[in-house]
């Protein structure tokens, strides 16, 4: 029997109207949006369904909004009795993966990611930090570039190792600018500045990580029901103490997504279900290995298609 992994997207996948059809048609999904509104004491659901796109993109809104939408979709899989063999997420998506694995309640997770977004936003004033996607350069060569720029006084480091030929760098605005220029001089095909509100997954996020530790202390973490592949180590995490440490470290460490997918392949996973808005992670999986089966689910139609495929082809239903 094929093994199945659930993948959960991070920031950048959000859009106004995501999850609205589910909210209107599925009571198990509606309950999740209602729980988020209650936990955060605000109408997050209204912002998601008919709010302002710029407001939704603010990191402290985007994070709880994406988590909520992803878990609202996940509820339909739980209702159908389908359990993954592994879960994983991209940055913020790791919190959705941990909810799916039973390590943290949705209520605690949605509060934690709201605070995570606030802390990340406060850590570096707007305009002082930046991120850029570097295309067509391997990690080792790019690491040499970022180390050199950092040694010269402008902090920049590898932030997201997404797939072959796509690595995101993060750091001070000057550091990212210099590293982008030098990467192109050293053979990178392109350097694309990202529209983000801060230098995520860089050392500049350490003040946010210290504050996040206090929030996680107040959350009830449990050992997982299924292994979750960590962004930080690209290894399975199952114990609550390890999970907390990794979530704190994750804020200032690279997201090892390519290694995560390779780890899941080594574990025998052949089917990857992306649960949440968009198809970003499905695209990255295909770039790691195009023979893998990916299914992106974001609305009632794609959920039904995924459930049918899993039941018919893989027998992955209890």
Q: Where are the domains positioned within the chain?
A: 3-123+204-314, 130-196
Across the chain, mean pLDDT equals 95
Could you tell me what percent of the chain has a pLDDT over 90? Answer: 92
Tens digit of each residue's pLDDT (9 = 90 or more) over 239-259: 999 999 999 999 999 999 999
pLDDT, residue 310, reads: 86
The more confidently predicted of residues 269 and 198 is 269
Strands lying side by side in the sheet with 269-275: 236-237, 228-229, 86-89, 3-8, 269-275, 293-297
The more confidently predicted of residues 310 and 63 is 63
- 201 catalytically annotated: yes
pLDDT, residue 99, reads: 98
Given 170, 197, 201, 202, the catalytic residue: 201
pLDDT, residue 101, reads: 98
Q: What are phi and psi of 88, to 5 degrees?
A: -160, 160
Tens digit of each residue's pLDDT (9 = 90 or more) over 57-109: 999 999 999 999 999 999 999 999 999 999 999 999 999 999 999 999 999 99
Is the confidence at residue 318, as pLDDT, over 60? no
pLDDT, residue 16, reads: 97
* CATH number of this structure's domain 3-123+204-314: 3.40.366.10
Tens digit of each residue's pLDDT (9 = 90 or more) over 180-211: 999 999 999 999 999 887 899 999 999 999 99
Q: Which CATH number fits domain 130-196: 3.40.50.300, 3.40.50.720, 3.90.1170.50, 3.30.70.250?
A: 3.30.70.250
Q: What are phi and psi of 8, to 5 degrees?
A: -125, 125
* Distance separating the N- and C-terminal Cα atoms of the chain: 13
Could you tell me what percent of the chain has a pLDDT over 70? Answer: 98
Taking the C-alpha atoms of residue 313 and residue 299, their distance in angstroms, rounded to an integer, is 21
Given 29, 45, 91, 298, the catalytic residue: 91
Contact by Cβ (8 Å): 201, 91: yes
pLDDT, residue 314, reads: 62
Taking the C-alpha atoms of residue 65 and residue 139, their distance in angstroms, rounded to an integer, is 32
Could you give the count of Cα atoms lying within 13 Å of 83 in the half-sphere of its Cβ?
Answer: 10
pLDDT, residue 316, reads: 52
Tens digit of each residue's pLDDT (9 = 90 or more) over 119-155: 999 998 878 999 999 999 999 999 999 999 999 999 9
Is the confidence at residue 317, as pLDDT, over 70? no
- 91 catalytically annotated: yes
DSSP label at residue 312: I
Question: 263-272: string of b/e by CB count within 10 Å (b at 16+)?
Answer: bbbeeebbbb
Is the confidence at residue 313, as pLDDT, over 70? no
Residue 312 banded pLDDT, cuts 50, 70, 90: confident
pLDDT, residue 315, reads: 61
Is the confidence at residue 55, as pLDDT, over 80? yes
């Amino acid at each position: 029997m094929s093994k199945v992994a659930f993948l959960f997207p991070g920031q950048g996948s959000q859009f106004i109207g995501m999850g609205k059809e589910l909210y209107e048609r599925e009571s198990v999904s509606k309950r999740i949006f209602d729980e988020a509104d209650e936990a955060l004491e605000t109408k997050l659901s209204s912002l998601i369904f008919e709010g302002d796109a710029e407001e939704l993109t603010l990191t402290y809104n985007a994070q709880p909004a994406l988590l909520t939408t992803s878990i609202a979709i996940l509820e339909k899989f739980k209702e159908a009795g389908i359990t993954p063999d592994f879960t994983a997420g991209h940055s913020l998506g790791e919190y959705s993966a941990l909810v799916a694995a039973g390590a943290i309640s949705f209520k605690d997770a949605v509060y934690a990611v709201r605070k995570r977004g606030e802390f990340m936003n406060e850590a570096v004033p707007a305009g002082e930090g930046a991120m850029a996607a570097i295309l067509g350069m391997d990690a080792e060569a790019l690491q040499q570039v970022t180390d050199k720029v950092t040694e010269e006084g402008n902090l920049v480091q590898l932030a997201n190792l997404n797939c072959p030929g796509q690595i995101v760098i993060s750091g001070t605005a000057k550091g990212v600018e210099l590293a982008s220029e030098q990467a192109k001089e050293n053979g990178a095909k392109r350097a694309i500045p990202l529209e983000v509100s801060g230098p995520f997954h860089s050392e500049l996020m350490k003040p946010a990580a210290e504050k996040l530790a206090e929030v996680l202390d107040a959350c009830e973490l449990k050992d997982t029901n299924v292994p979750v592949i960590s962004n930080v180590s690209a290894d399975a995490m199952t114990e609550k103490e390890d999970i907390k440490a990794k979530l704190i470290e994750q804020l200032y460490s690279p997201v090892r997504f390519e290694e995560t997918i390779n780890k899941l392949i080594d574990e025998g996973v052949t089917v990857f279900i992306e649960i949440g808005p968009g198809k970003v992670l499905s695209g990255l999986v295909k770039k790691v290995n195009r023979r893998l089966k990916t299914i992106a689910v974001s609305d009632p139609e794609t959920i039904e298609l995924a459930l049918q495929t899993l039941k018919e082809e893989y027998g992955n239903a209890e």
